[in-house]
């Protein structure tokens, strides 16, 4: 009888241990998914803002001290917003789409890596591809774009 009780208790303990989850890991996974959705939404909003020349989007989503490369450190948020404001409401002479986006959340930092496809409106066959890396920083629950880096797209070698 003693052996039976011992085996039963051992089986129950093992069953509970095997089905229990680490609550911190589950909460962290939910936060990562929510954070990734927020980053993807910011990227979508910025693309829409670019296509509609809406400076308000960039005023909201860019950090005050953001940097855009290769434009350089003196191409500030204020200069970008000022340039967009000059053509506010006008469609740019190109269309743009984000492709193959990957988002990585690293604590209070997020990295979005993707290809941006630009096509000239007057000649849609003329296409330019750029590799983009956007780095976001979270303050409280708000993500802001801190660094954006664009370079000519290089096709993956097979």
Q: Is residue 87 part of a domain?
A: yes
Query: Quick check: is 60 in a domain?
Result: yes
Model confidence pLDDT, tens digit, residues 103-116 = 999 999 999 999 99
- Residue 143 has which token pair? 């993500």
**Strand ranges of the sheet holding 62-69, from the earlier edge strand across to the other edge:** 62-69, 142-152, 127-139, 109-120, 94-106
- Tell me what pLDDT residue 158 has: 59
What does residue 6 show for φ and ψ, rounded to 5 degrees?
Answer: -60, -45
Q: How far apart are CA 33 and CA 121, in angstroms?
A: 35
Segment 5-10 shows an average pLDDT of 46
Supply the range of the domain harboring residue 97: 24-152
Q: What is the CATH number of the domain that holds 95?
A: 3.10.450.50
Grade residue 15 by pLDDT with cuts at 50, 70 and 90.
Answer: very low
- Domain membership of residue 102 (yes or no) is yes
Asked whether residue 10 is assigned to any structural domain, the reply reads no
Q: Using CB atoms within 10 A of its CB, is residue 89 exposed (0-12), middle (13-18) or buried (19+)? A: exposed
Has residue 130 been placed in a domain? yes
pLDDT band at 5 (very low <50, low <70, confident <90, very high): very low
Radius of gyration of the chain (CA): 23
DSSP H stretches of helix in 52-140: 55-61, 77-86
The answer to whether residue 3 sits within a structural domain is: no
- pLDDT given for residue 6 in this prediction: 46
Distance CA 115, CA 102 (A): 10
- Answer whether residue 66 is part of any domain: yes
**Domains contained in the chain, number:** 1
Residue 94 has pLDDT above 90, yes or no: yes
3-state secondary structure of 20: coil
Alpha helical stretches, state H, the chain: 2-19, 23-51, 55-61, 77-86
Q: What is the 3 state secondary structure string of 80-126? A: HHHHHHHCCCCCCCEEEEEEEEEEEEECCEEEEEEEEEEEECCCCCC
pLDDT score of 1: 53
- Asked whether 81 and 63 are in contact (CB, 8 A), the reply is no
φ/ψ of residue 66, rounded to 5? -65, 155
* 6 within domain boundaries: no
């Amino acid at each position: 009888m003693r052996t039976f009780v011992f085996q039963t208790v051992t089986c129950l303990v093992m069953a509970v241990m095997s089905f229990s989850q680490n609550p911190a890991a589950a909460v962290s996974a939910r936060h990562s998914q929510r954070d990734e959705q927020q980053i993807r939404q910011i990227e979508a909003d910025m693309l829409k803002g670019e296509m509609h020349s809406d400076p308000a989007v960039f005023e909201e989503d860019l950090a005050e001290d953001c940097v855009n490369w290769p434009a350089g450190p003196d191409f500030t948020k204020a200069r970008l917003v000022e340039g967009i404001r000059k053509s506010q409401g006008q469609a740019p002479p190109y269309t743009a789409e984000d492709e193959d986006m990957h988002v990585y959340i690293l604590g209070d930092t997020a990295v979005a890596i993707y290809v941006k496809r630009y096509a000239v409106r007057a000649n849609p066959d003329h296409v330019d591809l750029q590799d983009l890396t956007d780095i976001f920083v979270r303050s409280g629950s708000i993500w802001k774009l801190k660094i954006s880096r664009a370079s000519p797209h290089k096709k993956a070698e097979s």
